[in-house]
């Protein structure tokens, strides 16, 4: 199969974008992995599919596959690139569109300065919806569930460390660190992901609070490893920081790939994310059957 694609990036989180508005390509998990492969394919953290709406009040469907080929519920940096794609391809004349992912509806808005703002929907704290299963914790850690979910996890060396758990449609665990750059993300990320309390896996954020309106963030993503930026991870980190009393309602999130701005007015309110979305190149590729 020979197909066209567009390579895009949002704060360095990079994507292969496929236009499936005229019909689905029917790709397998192995074919998504091929497209994401940085040696044998195009190379990307995720593959984004732009599809025609199948319900009234929705402009497009938005499908996301991680580099490991698995389909997931949300991708924030990808949502900004989605808006840039449909606008630059003439698939919409609007500066604002509503898209349906497998888990929620997002509102994407093109800004005059070229950035894109996304209404990312509500953060979810109900454990079963994250999902997070406290049965997978050490007994003494479960007691901590009396307050908002800071889970005590055990490191390989037996040390206990805590993560705040929250879903933005996809699962996140946020760990507070003193120095994001010095944090061994490549070892701690997989350690958290291996915990039995995350039955659907988890994206692991490492947040250094710089001030009440600025954080440094690194994310070891489910299905992709450490990425230069993670949009839903930035939202999860800011929501956790606000609920822990460490951050104000508007926060600049500095990542290795660039700056995202996250706003959250509190429980019952949606999270808003603003950031860049860039088209890198158009291409075509033959995908093995």
Q: What is the x/- site pattern for ligand API, positions 110-129, by CB under 6 A?
A: --------------------
Give the bridge partners for 99, in sequence order: 60, 106
Contact 16, 48 (CB under 8 A): yes
Residue-wise DSSP of 48-107: EEEEE--STT-SEEEEEEETTS-EES--HHHHHHHHHHHHHTTS---SEEEEE-SS-EEE
Residue ranges in 11-30 that form contacts with ligand API under rule CB under 6 A = 13
CB 31 to ligand API: min, Å? 18
The pattern of x and - marking residues 56 through 85 that bind ligand API according to CB under 6 A reads ----------x-----x--xxxx-------
203 touches ligand API by CB under 6 A: yes
- 101 part of the interface to ligand API, by CB under 6 A: no
Counting beta carbons within 10 angstroms of the beta carbon of residue 286, is it exposed (0 to 12), middle (13 to 18) or buried (19 or more)? exposed
Residue recorded with tokens 């994206």? 203
Size of the site for ligand API (CB under 6 A): 19
75, 81, 197, 235: the catalytic one is 75
Separation of first and last alpha carbons in the chain: 7
Rounded to the nearest 10 degrees, how much is the dihedral formed by the CA atoms of 281, 282, 286, 288?
60
Closer CB to ligand API, residue 117 or residue 203? 203
Span 219-248, contacts to ligand API by CB under 6 A: 221-224, 227, 230-232
Of the two residues 149 and 201, which places its CB atom closer to ligand API in the complex? 201
d(Cα 256, Cα 48) in Å, to the nearest integer? 22
Is 170 marked within a binding site?
yes
Element (H or E) spanning 235, and its range?
A: helix 231-243
Q: Of 9, 46, 49, 255, which lies in the binding site for ligand API, with binding defined by CB under 6 A?
A: 46
Closest by Cα among 164, 6, 8 to 75: 8
Query: Is 231 a known ligand-binding residue?
Result: yes
Nearest to 163 by CA among 129, 139, 126, 137: 137
Of the two residues 74 and 87, which places its CB atom closer to ligand API in the complex?
A: 74
Exposed / middle / buried, residue 289 (Cβ in 10 Å: 0-12, 13-18, 19+): exposed
Is 197 annotated in the active site?
no
In this complex, which beta carbon is closest to ligand API, that of residue 208 or of residue 232?
Answer: 232
Q: How far is the CB of 231 from ligand API (least distance, A)?
A: 3
Nearest distance, CB of residue 140 and ligand API, angstroms: 29
Q: Is 221 flagged in the annotation as binding? A: yes
Place of tokens 């992995």: 33
Q: Which is nearer to ligand API, 17 or 72 (CB)?
A: 72
Annotated active-site residue 230? The verdict is: yes
Q: Taking the CB of residue 8, how many other CB atoms lie within 10 A of it?
A: 25
Q: Contacts with ligand API in 165-184 (CB under 6 A)?
A: 170
Binding site residues, as ranges? Answer: 13, 46, 66, 76-77, 170, 203, 221-222, 231-232
Binding site for ligand API (CB under 6 A): 13, 45-46, 66, 72, 75-78, 170, 203, 221-224, 227, 230-232
Binding site residues for substrate, as ranges? Answer: 13, 46, 66, 76-77, 170, 203, 221-222, 231-232
- Positions marked catalytic: 75, 230
């Amino acid at each position: 199969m020979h197909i066209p694609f567009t390579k895009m990036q949002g704060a360095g989180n990079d994507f292969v974008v496929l236009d499936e508005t005229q019909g689905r390509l029917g790709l397998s998990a192995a074919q998504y992995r091929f497209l994401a492969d940085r040696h044998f394919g195009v190379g990307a953290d995720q593959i984004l599919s732009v599809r025609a709406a199948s319900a009234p009040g929705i402009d497009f469907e938005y499908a996301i596959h991680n580099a490991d080929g698995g389909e997931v519920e949300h991708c924030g940096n990808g949502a900004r690139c989605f808006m840039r794609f449909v606008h630059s391809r003439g698939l919409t004349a609007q500066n604002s569109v509503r898209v349906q992912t497998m888990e929620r509806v997002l509102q994407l808005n093109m800004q005059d300065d070229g950035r894109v703002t996304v209404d990312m929907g509500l953060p979810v704290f109900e454990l079963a919806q994250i999902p997070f299963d406290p049965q997978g914790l050490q007994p003494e850690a479960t007691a901590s569930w009396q307050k908002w979910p800071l889970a005590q996890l055990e490191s390989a060396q037996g040390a206990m460390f805590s993560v705040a758990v929250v879903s933005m449609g996809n699962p996140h665990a946020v760990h507070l660190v003193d120095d994001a750059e010095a944090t061994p993300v490549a070892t701690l990320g997989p350690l958290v992901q291996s915990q039995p309390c995350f039955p659907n896996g988890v994206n692991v954020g490492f947040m250094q609070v710089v001030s009440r309106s600025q954080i440094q963030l690194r994310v070891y993503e489910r299905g992709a490893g450490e990425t230069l930026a993670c949009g839903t991870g930035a939202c999860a980190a800011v929501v956790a920081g606000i609920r822990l009393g460490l951050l104000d309602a508007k926060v600049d999130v500095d990542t290795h790939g660039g700056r995202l701005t996250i706003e959250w007015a509190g429980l019952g309110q949606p999270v808003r994310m603003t950031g860049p979305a860039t088209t890198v190149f158009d291409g075509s590729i033959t995908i093995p059957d």
